[in-house]
Chains A and B, each alone.
Chain A
């Protein structure tokens, strides 16, 4: 039996099959998470407001996402008249696929990674930018004034937040010296003070860079308090206003897939990936614990802070985050280079 299993394992890890297995696993993981993060969000929203959240569909409302999906699927997929049909249809897919592609390079544990490539980090950011374009195209092709306002907001917001995020990531790349995510996690092996978050002897502002990364991640995924793209109380449903049924559903799932990706990336870059702080349990468990803690924090933040004003949002990025991240970049550059210049 074990021999048979190891043979099967060996067979599946040969090249073309490994790819298919990774693809299916990622699709399943993203699908299940996108569905159940909605449940987490609603349950969390309920708890933060001292109410029980969904309780009727299944135990503790666990069947609620399935009920929601069935409802969305039973709705007519409308394309409004005189819109750009191709772009209108393509936008949800363009939002969903980058998150799926990017998860292929996220190392869930030492072995559990879709494809360990050297430019993993770069690839994630390359595909991450498509996300913005998808919302923009979705809003723009909807031929709806709210959707267009939302598109304009999304573009300026994402341009503003991409800069500090990339500056922070460049800081990190300067410290780690690689864009291979597996190697970045390997460098954080050992006790928890080896995590990039706490490596203050490399750069005293490491916790600040994590904070900037997290804030930018919230803004990039259009999460509250930066949910300008889908400002329900101002813009109907923002860029998604004209989408019905599963068109909207895919946008919604993609939003959660992007949160998942952002939290995974934060875990890999700052929280030591699969490394356990106390040395028990397999790595993948620790990875998921850290990631879901960040996901919970995202929900927690959403139900704590009101939406920022648009000027406040841009001011935060251009006046605070970008200067601070530039400063950390310079500081870590100096701290990496100066010891080499002055002997030692």
Chain B
């Protein structure tokens, strides 16, 4: 009898302890990230899709279209093309298409690149309505981003013309939708505050 009463009282006490703990949590600040309004900051080694690296000295991409990345890609999802402008020592990249639908993020391209001209981006807000949106022209993306930040266009206006047909045929319909969705994404993102 005494044992039973002690058990009941002890059990009841344990329930009260549990309730005290939960009410303590109730008044503590929330720990979740309010996603569409806030976003987590990705760690430095996060592997998003690849992106071209801007050379801060020239204000242009570092890539000179050597195509090592294209050859190293096991999934064959990179298409690079470039032109040699007059007076320049090397080629300049004009088209850098990434078919992200096939990319397995293995990183062979980043490893193969001799000049650190490509790296993994930290962009994970990738959602789209069609497959074509994930065939991204990284060159155009970087150019748009640089222009949005107040930089100069990468290509002289005349040079952009002849370069276009060289790689344009390889991936029909590429770019357009992707660029649009990226641009929209860029418009939304500034509202997000980053949370560590």
Contact = CB atoms under 8 A, between A and B. Distances in A.
Given A48-B25, A300-B22, A304-B18, 15 more contacts: A44-B26, A47-B26, A49-B25, A50-B28, A52-B30, A52-B32, A55-B34, A300-B19, A300-B23, A300-B26, A301-B19, A304-B19, A304-B21, A305-B18, A320-B8
A339 B24 CA distance: 46
Given A305-B15, A320-B8, A50 B22 contact: no
A305 B8 CA distance: 16
B12 to A, nearest CB: 8
A51 interface: yes
Interface of A: 44, 46-52, 55, 211, 300-301, 303-305, 320
B161 to A, nearest CB: 48
Contacts of B32: 50-52
B8 to A, nearest CB: 6
Contacts of B25: 47-50
Nearest to A304: B22
Contacts of B19: 300-301, 304
B19 to A, nearest CB: 5
16 contacts: A44-B26, A48-B22, A48-B26, A49-B25, A50-B29, A51-B30, A51-B32, A52-B30, A52-B32, A300-B23, A300-B26, A301-B19, A303-B22, A304-B19, A304-B22, A305-B15
Contacts of B12: 211
B116 to A, nearest CB: 41
Contacts of B28: 50
B31 interface: yes
A46 B23 CA distance: 12
Given A305-B15, A320-B8, A51 B31 contact: yes
Interface residues of B, number: 16
Nearest to B36: A56
A46 B30 CA distance: 9
Interface of B: prevailing SS = helix
Interface of B: 8, 12, 15, 18-19, 21-23, 25-26, 28-32, 34
A52 B34 contact: yes
Closest 8 CB pairs of A and B: A51-B32, A304-B22, A50-B31, A47-B26, A52-B30, A304-B18, A304-B19, A48-B22
Contacts of A55: 34
A55 B35 CA distance: 12
A305 B14 CA distance: 11
A49 B25 CA distance: 7
A60 B189 CA distance: 23
A44 B26 CA distance: 8
A150 to B, nearest CB: 25
Contacts of B34: 52, 55
Nearest to A323: B4
Contacts of A320: 8
A49 B26 CA distance: 7
A49 B23 CA distance: 10
Contacts of B21: 304
A55 B34 CA distance: 9
Nearest to B21: A304
A305 B32 CA distance: 22
Q: With a 10 A CB-CB cut-off, give which of B21, B26, B32 has the most chain A CB atoms.
A: B26
Contacts of A300: 19, 22-23, 26
B8 A50 contact: no
B104 to A, nearest CB: 34
B14 to A, nearest CB: 10
Contacts of A305: 15, 18
A151 to B, nearest CB: 29
- Most A Cβ at <10 Å: residue of B8, B12, B15, B30: B30
A104 B20 CA distance: 35
Contacts of A303: 22
Given A300-B23, A320-B8, A50 B30 contact: yes
Nearest to B24: A48
A120 B29 CA distance: 44
A50 to B, nearest CB: 5
A142 to B, nearest CB: 34
